Every structure is written in structure tokens, then in C-alpha cells.
Amino acid sequence: MNTASKKPTTRYWIIAILVLLWNTLGVIAYLGQAYMTDETLAALPESNQLYYSNLPAWVTAAFAIAVFGGFLGSIGLLWRKKWAYFLFVLSFVAIVVQQIHSLSIQDYIEISGAQVVLPAITLAIAIYLVYFSKKI
């Protein structure tokens, strides 16, 4: 019986570290939104003020689940834990829920080509992370 585990490649470690950095940025973005002061909100364009002021709790919850699930999944990748896969799946589902609201339900910000790029990149990365973490 072979009990030796397969050593991860350099590519694996580079991806795991980049994923941790990416998800750390997501946590920072969430905290910035969750703890936005009235002064910061007032400095935003009117459409953004309306968007943030009328954001349903379930969208904020989906955002929190997406970023913290991704962040903890990233730590799981670094520790080479199989539970990272579950967290990336959870994060992916939360991203989809959040983006359904942001791209189609909300009526405050007009969605243009440039505003679709980051959500599309985020979704693509989330899909890749589900695939990548499945191989742990």
C-alpha cells in the first residue's frame, strides 16, 4: 500500500497564493461596503447611493458568503484540504445569487459593458476554483 502523498507543483503553490490574494481583495471590498460611512455614501454618485441604500439583506449575505467562503477556501488550498472544494462551490453559488441581483434585478445603476467585466471575471475565477480545488 502506497501512503506517500503527491507533492504539489510550483504551479499549484503560485495559483494558491494568487487565489488567496484575490479573495483577500474580496474580503476588503465586502468590509468596505458593509462598514461604509454616511460620508462615504454621500460622496458616491446618486445612482450608487440609491443602490447601496436599497440593497436587500439577502444580497449582502450572498456577498459575505461569497467572499468569506472564497477566502477560507483559499486557506484550504494552501493547507491542501479537501474541504476547500465545498467552500469554493458555496462561494460560486453565492456569487451567482449576488450577480443575479446586481445585473438583472436592481434598478438603480444602469449596467454597461465596463460594469459587466469584473462580475464576468469573478464568475470565471470562481468556476476555475471549483475545478482546481476538486483535484486536491
- 55 in a structural domain: yes
- 65 in a structural domain: yes
- 3 in a structural domain: no
Q: pLDDT at residue 64 above 60?
A: yes
- Region class of 9: left (phi > 0), else alpha (psi between -120 and 50), else beta: beta
The number of folded domains in the chain is: 1
**Predicted confidence (pLDDT) per residue in 8-56, tens digit:** 999 999 999 999 999 999 999 999 999 999 999 999 998 888 888 889 9
**Which range marks the domain in which residue 102 is found?**
10-134
- 2 in a structural domain: no
Based on the number of CB atoms within 10 Å of its own CB, is 126 exposed (0-12), middle (13-18) or buried (19 or more)? buried
Which position has the grid cell 474541504?
83
